[in-house]
Amino acid sequence: MIELLAGNPLLLLFVVSAIGYLIGRIQIGGISLGVAAVLFVGLAFGAIDQRLRLPDIIYLLGLVIFVYTIGLSSGPGFVASLRQRGLRNNLFIGGILVAAAGITLLIRWALGLNGAQAAGLYAGSLTNTPALAAVIEQLSRIGANEAQRAEPVVGYSVAYPVGVLGMILAIYLTRRLWHIDLTYEAQQLRELGAIGEHLINRTVLVTNPAIAGQTISELVKHNKWNVIFSRYQHNGNIEIATRTTTLTPGDLVNVVGAPEAVERVAQAIGEIAPEQLELDRHTLDFRRIFVSNPEIVGVPLRDLHLPSTMGAVITRIRRGDAEILPHGDTVLELGDRVRVVTHRDNMERVSNFFGDSYRSLAEIDVVSFGLGMAIGMLVGLIPFPLPAGGTFSLGLAGGPLIVALILGWRGRTGPIVWSLPYSANLTLRQVGMTLFLAGVGTRSGYSFVTTLTQGNGLLLFLGGALITVPVAFATLVIGYKLLKIPFSLLIGMLAGLQTQPAVLAFANEQTGNEAPNIGYAMVYPTATIVKIILAQLLLGG
């Protein structure tokens, strides 16, 4: 069997990946390793026989695909977060990571580690695969041999488990020590508009004479309502509600939004009607339509002029598993599902406008995808001078990530659409991560076992704990007590600092709302880039 796997690298790749995925699904205390289990299975296979190793191109290809797709999906949210308190929060996370690098230097001195082991320990205790990849790439660039390139993987692998468990333990203990009421905190965040909620559709009976003569646009702007008016009934006729529609007492109007927002609208203009305003589907109709037309992707909804040119209104956008309330500055992405209300005889024209082709969403624009990754790799090759001499580069981990963040934020450049359909992005991301973890795992398995059995494996494990635990508690104490960041948002930021989906899953389980996801997306790109840079500095520090 060993001879068969050693002579067939692709067979080895799929065997390691399949077993890794099976193990990754096993939950202990509600926590699982997920795709990270592929790394440990790869280590196990590599330890059995030194010939069981995958070619370098496998993990390099996987790395570039993974970080590029992460950047594309994170770009819009990351840039948007910087316009509010996101800049402060990102600087805070960056400062914590610099402090973690300082702790790593002290541990390196205390344990007598070399630069490669320290850099791997830093990446593993903070569970960041791109940082590990940058270190391996830097070692390859300076001509390190196979054993030397395996040293950071050993440190990473030993420290990784405590990097996950330490963060989860810190969240669990601080929540109970501070007696945080997450339900009350979530309510406050909703009132501030920091997080959303599931959207509802209610019919409101207009009874307030004071709103007569005012358009829906004027009412929304004056009262700062975060809702959508989809259709209304006036004198028995049901029509689409647009920005220029005026409501009068006796009208019925459908309002879409979060429950609290809809209730505020109802109190201001009238009262919730006892029955829903049903569509006469012989005249008006609604449908969920797939966005597959690249011509409308990346264009703000206000610039599409749907009510005036198409006679249609978008009431909801479904992106992945999340529902989004559309606004004028909202931009559509390939793979979105929009709920549209329009006249029945106009539905086919509206569907053609959005594309409504599920099959095309499975196809990738190879031109934009390849061009974007090529630009990212070129940026990763640029050498940056260090104050103490020498240079560092963003490498295949940092270059594509930064370029993808910019391209994901831009959405499109002329006819080129940079974003990927949601499902295609997730698939490529998973494939990329699997290729990378399987590749570095099989190539480092022998050195990993040697270190554990004959070297300083236990000391590396303790060193990882001495990085992870202080970082976790410092982030929570400073963020919650000094910066007054809501705990629900803060634990998502902690997961983003750790770039660890398992920690994010635990945070989501604790809160029951999407605040951790917002915090995670806010700081994830910064955390990844900072760790890529600092890990390389530790290599030569």
- Give the pLDDT band of residue 211 (cuts 50, 70, 90): confident
Residue 82: the pLDDT is 67
Task: Determine the average pLDDT of the residues in 226-240.
Answer: 82
Identify the three-state secondary structure at position 82: coil
Identify the three-state secondary structure at position 84: coil
- Calpha distance 56→61 (Å, rounded): 9
- Give the pLDDT band of residue 275 (cuts 50, 70, 90): confident
Residue 416: the pLDDT is 84
Task: Determine the average pLDDT of the residues in 183-198.
Answer: 60
- Give the pLDDT band of residue 75 (cuts 50, 70, 90): confident
Within a 10 A sphere around the Cβ of 125, how many other Cβ atoms?
Answer: 31
Task: Determine the average pLDDT of the residues in 493-518.
Answer: 74
Given a cut of 70, is residue 282 above it in pLDDT?
no
Residue 197: the pLDDT is 57
Within a 10 A sphere around the Cβ of 294, how many other Cβ atoms?
Answer: 17
Beta bridge partners of 339: 288, 316
Given a cut of 70, is residue 49 above it in pLDDT?
yes
- Residue type present at position 486: P
- Calpha distance 382→317 (Å, rounded): 40
- Calpha distance 485→474 (Å, rounded): 13
Task: Determine the average pLDDT of the residues in 429-450.
Answer: 78
Residue 32: the pLDDT is 62
Structure tokens at 456: 């300083």
Residue 195: the pLDDT is 55
- Give the pLDDT band of residue 375 (cuts 50, 70, 90): very high
Residue 93: the pLDDT is 93
Task: Determine the average pLDDT of the residues in 208-222.
Answer: 83
Residue 385: the pLDDT is 75
* Contact predicate 455/479, CB 8 Å: no
| Listed range (193-197, 222-226, 400-404) with the worst mean pLDDT | 193-197
* Contact predicate 152/116, CB 8 Å: yes
Closest CA to 201 of 305, 310, 313: 313
- Give the pLDDT band of residue 452 (cuts 50, 70, 90): low
Residue 122: the pLDDT is 93
- Calpha distance 324→2 (Å, rounded): 51
Closest CA to 133 of 72, 75, 61: 61
Phi–psi pair at 485, nearest 5 degrees = -80, 130
Residue 175: the pLDDT is 86
364 vs 463: which has the higher pLDDT: 463
Task: Determine the average pLDDT of the residues in 79-99.
Answer: 82
Q: For each of the domains in the chain, give its residue range(s) and CATH number, in order of start.
A: 195-360 (3.30.70.1450)
| Listed range (155-164, 213-222, 245-254, 465-474) with the worst mean pLDDT | 155-164
Closest CA to 130 of 55, 69, 51, 50: 69
Given a cut of 90, is residue 477 above it in pLDDT?
yes
Model-level pTM? 0.70
Q: Percentage of the chain with pLDDT > 70?
A: 87
Residue 390: the pLDDT is 60
Burial of 56 (0-12, 13-18, 19+ CB in 10 A): middle
Task: Determine the average pLDDT of the residues in 5-12.
Answer: 84
Given a cut of 60, is residue 108 above it in pLDDT?
yes
Residue 191: the pLDDT is 52
Q: Cα dihedral sign for 60, 66, 70, 72?
A: positive
- Calpha distance 247→143 (Å, rounded): 74
524 vs 501: which has the higher pLDDT: 524
- Calpha distance 401→65 (Å, rounded): 10
Residue 361: the pLDDT is 66
Task: Determine the average pLDDT of the residues in 447-473.
Answer: 80
Structure tokens at 516: 């951790």
Structure tokens at 55: 């070619």
Given a cut of 70, is residue 505 above it in pLDDT?
no
pLDDT digits (tens, 9 = 90+) for 306-330: 887 888 888 888 877 667 788 877 8
